[in-house]
Structure 1
């Protein structure tokens, strides 16, 4: 893999280590930049630079290319899942039960 086109950035191999679900891990990027994860989502300048970085990594083959569905949904809010909180509580409850049973 080659060095990124933007000066001052780590080599592509370092970015390959923090790929999560087809894009750079926001937690790891925030650690590397020295800001909070929320800043990556809320700051338009950071969001724009991160998007440009990911597009460059996709062009160089470090990140996988976007699917047609992902391209169509880019920039649109996700669908609200009214059952997500309930599933999270159920998962915690099951985890606690398993912990009690196994101990």
Structure 2
């Protein structure tokens, strides 16, 4: 049996762009992706703290060090620039693995830079 657990979370990051005329996804600064252990094309869940919207999409790697968080395509309708969101990834594992697994939690600063 496999369980689905929190793999990683980028907590309370600000949306910097919303591009409606784009094939759907979320663009995330490569530095934040690495800090959270999120890979390009990985599925993520997005929770918007400002309006309660939730969505599922995949990740596109953004330019390192820019702080970019851009909702693309239809997802752009779910947030506005400046909204605070949480980006969540999950992983499936056995119960035995789950008992010792620790998720990666990233708490960015006000400029969307990972705080170490």
Larger strand fraction of residues = 2
Q: Considering the TM-score relative to the shorter chain, is it more than 0.5?
A: no
With normalisation by structure 1, the TM-score equals: 0.25
Larger helix fraction of residues = 1
Asked which structure has the greater CA Rg, the reply is 1
With normalisation by structure 2, the TM-score equals: 0.23
Highest RCO, 1 vs 2 (Cα 8 Å, sep ≥ 6): 2
